[in-house]
Chain A
Amino acid sequence: MIKVHCFVSCVCEIIKRTPGVDHRPFYFGVWDADFSVNDQMELSYHSPHTRHNEFRDWYKLLYGISIEPWYNHKADKDTNIRTLVSLVENRPSDRQVMVMLDLYRLPERENKFHQNPFPHYVMLETTDNPDEWFMSDPDFRWEGVLPKDRILDSVRSPAAAGGFYFDGLNIRHTPAETVAAYFAQCMKTDHNPFTDALRRILRAHTGPDASQPLANLPHAFREIPVMAIRKYAFEHAFAWLLEDQGKQAEGAPWFEAVCEDIERLVKTYTQIQFRALKLVMSGDSALLASVEQLLDEQDEREFAIKTRLLGLFDDWQRYRNIGVPRPDTEQAPLEVL
């Protein structure tokens, strides 16, 4: 599994290491996870207002663990750095300390996105050397030792502001009813927020009624790759709902076909970004209709994936003999920050 969502990867790491508990249901919330579109109609996978409250609430319900915020957004950076240092240096062995840093400031860490800035959550521990800290970055499947000063410099970036801690004692086995309720809460059956947002962003930059310059479209679409990979969370959901019924996922033709469709969904966002870029760079307005067409195809593709997932979810509910209603179609609209 490649990078999907850094906050989720961090909090799931301890679940993955706990026998008898499965982290994959937590990914139900990821394929349509929050993002923002700012006043200039630019897509952003992260916004200064992101607090991950829903993820934290459901983590508590699913696994019995409270994720506590330690970062004080009203205090200055130095105060928060002092808090971080104290938390890391006085960390009980079962505590995970998460911090948001700007990965762009750590070029020694390979980062395929090369975006500046790149806000990103990691977990930190001390080492025997007081000048070095151990960094765990499950989202990139990386861990290693880095100079403490280098880490703190990346935390000091104005683009990074956030942190949580949680204790790994007493992780509980998740009741099936809670998993079902989480699925119902996450499943947006009548709209695909990411594709909808891309359509609105595209229309804000094109045509006679555009509110934004066409030349800004590539920048507005810049973070598409970071968002697109969240759709791989569907794979976790399909695999878990199959395996929890004692069925095979990996290698089974039905599952592999679904994975191919998910892959196509992810990759087609690249195609959308490519055609939008070509539209701007070539001035060939005929490309606009083709981008719209790809967005329509993405909707069709994602609705089809969701329909199959709902069918599998129904099977799983029958298998588990639970009667949670199917996902409600009433959903809050995308918040434009």
Chain B
Amino acid sequence: MSANRHAAIKAVLQQHLPNARLSAFAGSARLNADLAIDSIMLLQLIVHLELEHGFNLPEETLLTQELETVDDLARLLVANDQKEPSL
């Protein structure tokens, strides 16, 4: 499952976020400092993961957890069929 999540994150960066520094991609890569993902790119990444790859990040997580690395993001992603009730 974890490999799927990492692969999904990488696929979104490849397809939709050309300004991200993909060459530095790794589980331990820091989203901002290593991959040059700014705050709005991070939000775009999360929405793409939800709409195209079946993973979502609960909004409360977005507000309370520090997402420093790719591993942090992968760990906190939830499969869409386990998502919180629709808004």
Contact = CB atoms under 8 A, between A and B. Distances in A.
B37 to A, nearest CB: 8
A273 B43 contact: yes
B87 A115 contact: no
B15 to A, nearest CB: 13
B43 A268 contact: no
Contacts of B44: 218, 277, 281
B63 interface: yes
Given A110-B33, A281-B51, A115 B38 contact: yes
A114 B32 contact: yes
A191 to B, nearest CB: 25
Contacts of A112: 32, 38-39
B36 to A, nearest CB: 6
Describe B's contact surface by its main secondary structure: helix
A106 to B, nearest CB: 14
Interface in A273-290: 273-275, 277-278, 281-282, 286-287, 290
Q: Bin chain B's interface residue count.
A: 20 to 34
Interface band, chain A: 20 to 34
Interface SS of A by simple majority: helix
Given A270-B63, A271-B59, A274-B62, A114 B43 contact: no
Contact of A114 (B38, B46, B63): B38
Given A273-B40, A277-B44, A282 B51 contact: yes
Nearest to A291: B87
Contacts of B32: 112, 114
Contacts of A225: 39-40
Contacts of A274: 43, 46-47, 59, 62
A200 interface: no
Contacts of A286: 86-87
Interface in A239-270: 264, 267-268, 270
A319 interface: no
A183 B5 CA distance: 50
B40 to A, nearest CB: 6
A7 B59 CA distance: 32
Nearest to B40: A222
Contacts of B64: 267
B33 A270 contact: no
A271 B62 contact: yes
Contacts of B39: 112-113, 225, 270, 273
B63 A218 contact: no
Contacts of B87: 275, 286-287, 290
B81 to A, nearest CB: 17
A115 B63 CA distance: 21
A278 B62 contact: no
B72 to A, nearest CB: 15
Nearest to A290: B87
A112 B41 CA distance: 12
A289 to B, nearest CB: 9
Interface in B47-87: 47-48, 50-51, 59, 62-64, 86-87
Contacts of B62: 270-271, 274
Given A113-B39, A277-B47, 10 more contacts: A113-B38, A225-B39, A270-B43, A271-B63, A273-B40, A274-B59, A275-B87, A277-B43, A278-B47, A281-B51
* Closest 4 A/B residue pairs (Cβ): A114-B38, A267-B63, A290-B87, A225-B39
Interface of A: 110, 112-115, 218, 222, 225, 264, 267-268, 270-271, 273-275, 277-278, 281-282, 286-287, 290
5 contacts: A114-B37, A222-B40, A275-B87, A278-B50, A282-B51
